[in-house]
């Protein structure tokens, strides 16, 4: 693993946790992003699992920068021992000329998940498209930053390992912007989720664009942190 790339990723993770309004939740997000259990992390750090649990739940005072640095380094070290799969994935997405903050979360599943199950997990309304098809992961994207900062080729990187995934766009007003962006790129996702708006707020042309590209379209008003936590904790 290139030490410079690892160091940059560690700095980004530690900075995001330290500056977050909810450091515990952000710490948990990164731990789950690397598919590491509280037990694995606590064992590596030489502390009780309850310590990690208390930090993440907010029962224990937010750790200082030195402890956060140790936790982040431990997460990366555990991943390196497994081959560095997630370091490679997040580093390539975060630093491949992609604007900062574009990707909120990205995850790939070992087994396919049907869209009906996925919609239920995030309390989404299906606007159009089949739900018997499957996805192998999801990407949560800041809609405005993606549209403002990414070129067409950079936009394709948000698919991770497969286009058979759900793209969850946050900060959406009526759904037109993300669907237009997808229309002009060569790759199409299996599913698009418009986050933060209800069915009544979706522009009438948006379902038509989704149908044109054979995309299952959904919307949800569930909190984005709740969505990520639920999708990470599901044993699919």
For residue 1, the model assigns a pLDDT of 45
| Cα gap 171→141, rounded to integer Å | 9
For the stretch 144-190, pLDDT in tens is: 888 777 776 667 667 765 688 999 999 899 999 999 988 888 889 99
Distance of CA 50 to the CA centre of its chain: 26
149, exposed or middle or buried, with CB in 10 Å at 0-12, 13-18, 19+? Answer: middle
* Cβ partners under 8 Å of residue 8, min gap 6: 91, 94, 95
**CA-to-CA distance for 28 and 53, rounded, in angstroms?**
9
Tell me the average pLDDT across 26-42: 93
Strands (E), 132-201: 134-142, 166-170, 191-195
Which pLDDT value is given to residue 92? Answer: 63
What are the b/e assignments for 158-186, b being 16+ CB within 10 Å?
Answer: bbbeebebbbbbbbbeebbbbbebbeebe
Q: pLDDT of 46-98, one tens digit each? A: 999 999 999 999 898 878 888 999 999 999 999 999 998 888 777 766 555 44
Q: What is the mean pLDDT of residues 228-235?
A: 80
- Judged against a pLDDT cut of 80, whether residue 5 lies above it is answered with no
Q: How far apart are CA 140 and CA 191, in angstroms?
A: 12
pTM of the full structure: 0.63
Write down the mean pLDDT value for the chain: 87
Rounded to whole angstroms, the Cα distance separating 77 from 85 reads: 12
- Number of neighbours of residue 31 by Cβ within 10 angstroms: 22
Check residue 150 and give its pLDDT: 73
- Render 117-148 in DSSP notation, one character per residue: HHHHHTTPEEEES-SSSEEEEEEEEEHHHHHH
Residue with tokens 């309004």: 21
Percent of the chain with pLDDT over 90: 51
């Amino acid at each position: 693993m290139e030490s410079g790339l690892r160091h940059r990723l560690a700095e980004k993770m530690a900075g995001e946790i330290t500056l977050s309004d909810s450091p515990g939740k952000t710490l948990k997000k990164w731990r789950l992003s690397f598919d590491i259990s509280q037990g694995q992390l606590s064992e590596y750090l030489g502390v009780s699992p309850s310590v990690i649990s208390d930090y993440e739940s907010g029962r224990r005072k937010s750790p200082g920068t030195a402890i956060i640095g140790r936790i982040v380094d431990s997460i990366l070290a555990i991943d390196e021992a497994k081959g560095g799969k997630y370091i490679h994935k997040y580093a390539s997405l975060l630093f491949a000329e992609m604007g900062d903050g574009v990707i909120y979360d990205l995850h790939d599943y070992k087994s396919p998940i049907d869209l009906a199950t996925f919609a239920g997990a995030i309390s989404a309304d299906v606007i159009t498209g089949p739900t018997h098809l499957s996805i192998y992961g999801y990407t949560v994207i800041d809609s405005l930053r993606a549209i403002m900062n990414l070129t067409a080729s950079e936009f394709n990187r948000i698919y991770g390992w497969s286009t058979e995934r759900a793209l969850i766009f946050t900060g959406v007003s009526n759904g037109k912007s993300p669907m237009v962006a997808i229309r002009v790129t060569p790759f199409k996702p299996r599913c698009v989720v418009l986050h933060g708006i209800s069915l009544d707020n979706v522009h009438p042309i948006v379902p038509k664009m989704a149908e044109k590209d054979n995309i299952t379209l959904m919307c949800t008003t569930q909190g984005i942190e709740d969505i990520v936590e639920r999708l990470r904790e599901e044993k699919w």
